[in-house]
Structure 1
């Protein structure tokens, strides 16, 4: 490997086009794309792989973005990450499957009420299962892909200073090593050197949402379906443990993300965690993270059964307030990527999706800048606005959800508004992907960026934006005591009923339907509604999704 350090007594041989701080999911993915596109890329990290990381739950919208980037940037290895099967067969047999989002509401000291359950089952007729990613394996896989495409790597590198001048960037370590690049991407996470250098962290953090977290990987976590048993009529159409399980309570929730929920898995672990509003549930001095976790577990009888006999396999991790924000994410010759810029909460599994969205809109701009030598902040202004909008939109969504947890009726309405918007956003991304693949016109992909509400999954629909904002307003009113949970829920269900863009027969407007399961019968009825009664834009999205998905199935391949 060529020597590309300064100040070591050897002549400088390489000035990299891009230096990336952090070789995790975001940094390695971006490095692979840029190197494949011809850029000279340096990946720097203080640690080496495999590395423990959370953020393990994927969502369909993210998987579409991975498929798009795989073809857009000619990095086929990204396609592997877009399905559970790919992760399991190509990366390692250590991942779990995710075929639904499942939620149970709990109250202190009381058995879980089966009437307070909600689940959205992914349409298995048309979609592959998503994955619960064992991040130490997926991140190491991406790192090796980056190396394969030509990234120069350096581990054990602790960046202590980053200096900018008119021609580039000098990155220095605590041992006096220096590297030179034309542009720097900080993908190092919360302890971002660039955020510290430029004083970018907002104090106080601008986000409305507040939470802290405790997490671990555990052995012996009981299958949810064995631990929490209800009558047959209250049993969901697919097992709880086959998806991401959320145990909700007033201003908090537990997650259960299984890696051992498929016959092909060779991983006995399960990711578990707790997030809760630190204003309602502050840390108690002298109480360890493990003690803190279990004292909340024992508040709820069925949650206690969910974790009965489970054993941690590493030290518990506990945080203060999770949320942090940055005043800006781009500047001349630099960008903060993903979690180096901000973080909200793991609820709704938006973290990895937002990361993929940011990489997708950033990568082609960096490659263009490498070609023409212009790395000014103005060239990347849209990246800043996109990232900030993703953070702000997720903040509004998660904050509204936490507000609703104490009223199941209100939560069920929030659940539907989120889930349909997520579906519609996935359909829209798939439509752009297929039209771009068919016609080769980048305008279809750029249209995904040029939208009025980039912080929402369904980002170009005015009616959905109004519905989303109404949800936020009603949840705020409920928290302020201006309306009851029932009144807020009634207002939102009335909006759902009146909205012509919300499909019928799928379950979004059926308030007593706990388990939204798109069976062949329901999908057929919904598609008939789309063909005969839906607005033009919704008809195009839904029928296009069905038509193209059917073609994929005929060819023996599935969409995701």
Structure 2
């Protein structure tokens, strides 16, 4: 028998779980958050996109996050010596001030241990019951419906019930693994090796202070992300075949050395953490909802850290999950229609983001921009590119996103009906869509 009953159980206290729980509690629902780890804890994914600021603003989280003193990011530097990966050879800077009026031109670089705790505390402050150190052991089923969760906490076994369960467990994929739903995304089986450094002095930066640097080379790419104080996160991403033939310390040093602008920025720094390795992190599930449950964020899909969109897409889907569940609890008879709509929304954003990643790895981003140039004025191309790199994954009329969606080889999910409409700037998106429609002959 359940120890306690809630309206909603959220598995996972990362950004997706925290945002979903905070929104649900704010709507007056009783919510339990089961988080396996104790916070703060390390997590990769430190560079945010500018659409994140608009999202935080809509979720009433911007004040809480903005006062934390995070590094301000006003653009991204993409280094491409070959001229095959990005829109211009050499160095291309995505300047976030070029998105057009009304959109935020700044975002943050964060240490996720701190950022994630801020979000989790917001969920607790809104009224969610947050239990850290809670290891989910099993899902409680009533027929084919999930109606609760069994978990272990402080040496004891517990069971709680709920009208709805949200899987925001990230790579752990509680529901996906229970039902055998997770699939590896072919073509994106990569390995990341990374660590932090201290002693960063941005006077050595040949680019713009606060920007992320992404350096492409023949065997993958390298990132450098300035964090709070004098810290910087540095990582190298490569295919599994490259990693298998190397020692992690050696391949890391050799790959970083291939990007002189990053080497220059790191002048005078020293390692402050051990190496960490993440492998085979690109996956998806075709089913992200079911009777009494849905997935939010990385529990249902993860692409690649290439364009820093993972946290944004996770939080957007989490916010939409909370809205969907609120509507389901108010009208249980509409559950199937509402959760189907949510699933299509989830897939639309992730599918667009993963297509952008495929375009980079397959050196097709330049071709996508060229295709877009046939339907939009050239002076507007950079605006649409910066928007896409900034998190514009749900807009139907972004011509570069349209070009990416036309490539059937980059489909992440089984066929689905897209749900378009920017969840961050819906009013601006609607106005842009009307303007584009009016301009058609």
> What range describes the TM-score normalised by the shorter chain of this pair?
0.7 to 0.9
The answer to whether 1:98 aligns with 2:73 is: yes
Change (3 A) 1:79 1:322: same
Cα distance in structure 2, aligned partners of 1:115 and 1:362: 40
Q: Which of 101, 106, 127 pairs up with 1:150?
A: 127
Q: Which of 140, 161, 170 pairs up with 1:189?
A: 170
Contact map agreement 1:98 1:130 (CA 8 A) in 2: yes
Bigger strand fraction? 2
Per-residue deviation at 1:328? Answer: 0.9
Cα distance in structure 2, aligned partners of 1:62 and 1:300: 28
Cα distance in structure 2, aligned partners of 1:294 and 1:43: 40
Contact map agreement 1:257 1:272 (CA 8 A) in 2: yes
Deviation digits for residues 98-145 of structure 1 (CA, Å, limit 9, x no counterpart)? 0011111247xxxxxx96111121218974521112222221111111
Partner of 1:421: 384
Partner of 1:21: 11
Cα distance in structure 1, aligned partners of 2:319 and 2:38: 25
Change (3 A) 1:307 1:133: same
Contact map agreement 2:148 2:159 (CA 8 A) in 1: yes
Aligned pairs, number: 400
Contact map agreement 1:191 1:340 (CA 8 A) in 2: yes
The answer to whether 1:537 aligns with 2:435 is: yes
The answer to whether 1:60 aligns with 2:50 is: yes
Contact map agreement 1:458 1:464 (CA 8 A) in 2: no
Change (3 A) 1:249 1:222: farther
Per-residue deviation at 1:248? Answer: 1.4
Q: Which of 86, 93, 111 pairs up with 1:119?
A: 93
Contact map agreement 1:61 1:426 (CA 8 A) in 2: no
TM-score scaled by structure 2?
0.79
User: Helix, strand or coil: the match of 1:282?
Assistant: helix
Contact map agreement 2:189 2:279 (CA 8 A) in 1: no
Partner of 1:173: 151
Cα distance in structure 2, aligned partners of 1:423 and 1:540: 23
Partner of 1:453: none
Per-residue deviation at 1:540? Answer: 8.8
Cα distance in structure 2, aligned partners of 1:290 and 1:138: 28
Q: Which of 324, 331, 334 pairs up with 2:293?
A: 334
Cα distance in structure 2, aligned partners of 1:128 and 1:462: 18
User: Helix, strand or coil: the match of 1:386?
Assistant: helix
Deviation digits for residues 376-426 of structure 1 (CA, Å, limit 9, x no counterpart)? 444311221222232222222111112229x9x769869999964355579
Per-residue deviation at 1:32? Answer: 0.8
Partner of 2:421: none
**Bigger shift: residues 16-25 or 350-359:** 350-359
Partner of 2:110: 133
Q: Which of 221, 225, 239 pairs up with 1:253?
A: 221
User: Helix, strand or coil: the match of 2:308?
Assistant: helix
- Higher relative CO (Cα under 8 Å, sequence separation at least 6) belongs to 2
Per-residue deviation at 1:536? Answer: 6.2
User: Helix, strand or coil: the match of 2:177?
Assistant: helix
Contact map agreement 1:207 1:392 (CA 8 A) in 2: no
Q: Which of 461, 473, 485 pairs up with 2:397?
A: 461
Q: Which of 23, 37, 49 pairs up with 2:27?
A: 37
User: Helix, strand or coil: the match of 1:365?
Assistant: helix
Per-residue deviation at 1:327? Answer: 2.5
Partner of 1:525: none
User: Helix, strand or coil: the match of 2:209?
Assistant: helix
Cα distance in structure 1, aligned partners of 2:213 and 2:436: 30
Matches within 5 A, 1:518-533: none
User: Helix, strand or coil: the match of 1:245?
Assistant: strand
Partner of 1:344: 303
Flag structure 2 segments of 5+ consecutive residues without an equivalent.
83-87, 374-379, 411-431
User: Helix, strand or coil: the match of 1:59?
Assistant: coil
Contact map agreement 1:184 1:334 (CA 8 A) in 2: yes
Cα distance in structure 2, aligned partners of 1:535 and 1:15: 44
Matches within 5 A, 1:407-556: 420-421=383-384, 457=393, 459-461=395-397, 464=400, 466-469=402-405, 537-538=435-436
Cα distance in structure 1, aligned partners of 2:117 and 2:181: 29
Cα distance in structure 2, aligned partners of 1:324 and 1:64: 27
User: Helix, strand or coil: the match of 1:190?
Assistant: helix
Contact map agreement 1:213 1:319 (CA 8 A) in 2: yes
User: Helix, strand or coil: the match of 2:285?
Assistant: coil
The answer to whether 1:241 aligns with 2:233 is: no
Cα distance in structure 2, aligned partners of 1:319 and 1:462: 32
TM-score scaled by structure 1?
0.64
The answer to whether 1:48 aligns with 2:16 is: no
Change (3 A) 1:414 1:179: farther
The answer to whether 1:276 aligns with 2:238 is: yes
Change (3 A) 1:149 1:117: same
Contact map agreement 2:191 2:240 (CA 8 A) in 1: yes
Cα distance in structure 1, aligned partners of 2:301 and 2:7: 25
User: Helix, strand or coil: the match of 1:385?
Assistant: helix
Cα distance in structure 1, aligned partners of 2:347 and 2:163: 24
The answer to whether 1:365 aligns with 2:315 is: no
